[in-house]
Amino acid sequence: MTGLLGKVTNQPRDVVGSRAQTEVSAIWGEIPGEVVSFDDKAQTITVQPLYKPQFGGEAVDMPQLYEVPMRFQRAGGFVITTPIKPGDKVTLRPQMRSSENYHGGEEYAASDARTFSLSDYEAFLDGGEALTDPIPNFNADNMEIRSADGKFAIEMSEDGKFRMRGAEGNWFDLLATLAEKLAADTLVIRHGSSTGSGHALQFQSDYAEIAGKLRGMAL
């Protein structure tokens, strides 16, 4: 408390409060990090924590962390992966206790070897960027799996329509255009016998139906 702190004036509650605050401040929590390198076989990264602790009033760089597990979305027999490149941002999350036995194939039994330690950080793709680096060209209407700049994407609307933006345009639009042209084509294809002379007209209604379905799925 102000006015009571001093060499011989510290009250017990002040001492306890100071120690409790120091202990809480020493616990490692989530911090952003920047990828230095990625091992795609082990799926671990070398990462530079972006948090800079203060020592003697000066901010200092933390050491790089090695063999940090890189976490991808994996569930139900499916995995969503993306390339990991130097400079990518990640969120580093600590484990409550030492995880080295678990990663070595053993049970995750309680261990007091470490608590919220830098040695037990794991890297996640959801986050790490500052608010000064928002996602460009964000689609506020539909879900997208996209390139960082949004130029290429698989886009899905809530009512089940799709748009797939590739290097040559919207895939569904190209397929629909092809189907429409096939439906309008009246060329009689001959195969050397009269049995093949009516195939184009015979499947014209099928082409039109396919074009209608593709148009119905496109945004």
Q: What is the pLDDT of residues 174-199, one digit of tens each?
A: 888 888 887 777 655 555 555 555 45
CA-based nearest residue to 28, from 131, 110, 114, 125: 114
Question: In this structure, are residues 157 and 141 in contact, taking their beta carbons and an 8 Å threshold?
Answer: yes
Domain with residue 38: its CATH number is 2.40.50.230
The pTM assigned to this predicted structure is 0.73
Q: Look at residue 37 and tell me if it is in a domain.
A: yes
Domain hosting 188: range is 153-217
Q: Look at residue 19 and tell me if it is in a domain.
A: no
DSSP label of 115: B
Length of the chain equals: 219
- On whether both 38 and 117 belong to a single domain, the answer is yes
| Total number of domains in the chain | 2
Q: What is the pLDDT of residues 50-109, one digit of tens each?
A: 999 888 889 999 999 999 999 999 999 999 999 999 999 999 999 888 888 778 778 877
